[in-house]
């Protein structure tokens, strides 16, 4: 990615390459945000392009935020299988980060992920997998018309509801997707304890 960054920075500053450009300005909540995107489909110079099947473009996205009289600018670089249309690339990137931010917000609010202090060995990754699995199971359960946090609380209080949520599990899918070993819990009919394989 260093080559992509150098190429785009040079092209932006010197104007030596044909770049597709898009700029969007948003104002609200006491701040102004300016998003600039430069995109190029000129990739013949990129030595590693064969490593990314379907690679069609590269782009740089610059975000400038002005709030309370202070300005901050950040630039990020991307490779893409989309055409070098800066407006579409910018919208796709913004949508992707919107989804990422919403997922992080849900994990933090529902599971207090940011306060989690698990730091040793594979434990952080294992806990992240379990949180994502739990979130997906809670989203799939539709009989209770409440938010994810309320469903999680109810599952903690009501064993029948917990078993109902766990009953939707396709264990073969989870075992393949996450390389898990499943141990049946003899005390809870229909429920399982999931432990990651060594």
Same domain, 71 and 9: yes
Same domain, 97 and 37: yes
User: How many domains does one find in the chain?
Assistant: 2
The residue segments making up the domain with residue 148 are: 119-196
**3 state SS of 44:** coil
Same domain, 18 and 98: yes
- How would you write the pLDDT of the chain (198 residues) with one tens digit per residue? 688 999 999 999 888 778 999 999 988 878 899 999 999 999 999 988 888 889 999 999 999 999 888 999 999 999 999 999 999 999 988 887 776 777 888 888 888 888 888 888 888 888 888 888 888 888 888 898 888 889 988 988 888 888 888 876 665 665 666 565 555 554 444 444 444 444
Same domain, 34 and 78: yes
Distance, in Å, from the CA atom of 19 to the CA atom of 41, rounded to the nearest integer, reads 8
Distance, in Å, from the CA atom of 93 to the CA atom of 88, rounded to the nearest integer, reads 9
Same domain, 165 and 100: no
Same domain, 23 and 79: yes
Q: 């948003």: which residue's tokens?
A: 26
Same domain, 106 and 137: no
pTM for this entry: 0.57
Same domain, 29 and 61: yes
Same domain, 106 and 123: no
Same domain, 28 and 99: yes
Q: Which residues contact 48 (CB under 8 A, 6 or more apart)?
A: 3
């Amino acid at each position: 990615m260093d080559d992509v960054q150098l190429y785009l920075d040079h092209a932006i500053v010197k104007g030596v390459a044909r770049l597709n450009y898009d700029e969007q300005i948003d104002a609200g909540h006491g701040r102004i945000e300016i998003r600039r995107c430069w995109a190029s489909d000129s990739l013949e110079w990129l030595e590693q392009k064969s490593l990314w099947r379907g690679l069609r473009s590269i782009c740089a996205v610059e975000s400038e935020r002005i709030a309370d009289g202070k300005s901050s600018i950040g630039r990020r670089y991307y490779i893409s299988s989309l055409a070098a249309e800066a407006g579409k690339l910018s919208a796709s990137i913004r949508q992707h980060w919107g989804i990422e931010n919403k997922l992080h917000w849900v994990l933090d609010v529902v599971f207090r992920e940011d306060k989690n202090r698990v730091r040793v060995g594979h434990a952080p990754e294992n806990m992240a997998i379990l949180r994502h699995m739990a979130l997906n199971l809670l989203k799939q359960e539709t009989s209770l018309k409440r938010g994810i946090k309320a469903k999680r609380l109810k599952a903690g209080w009501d064993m029948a509801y917990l078993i109902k949520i766990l009953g939707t599990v396709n264990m073969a899918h989870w075992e393949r997707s996450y390389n898990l070993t499943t141990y049946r819990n003899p005390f809870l009919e229909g429920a399982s304890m999931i432990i990651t394989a060594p």
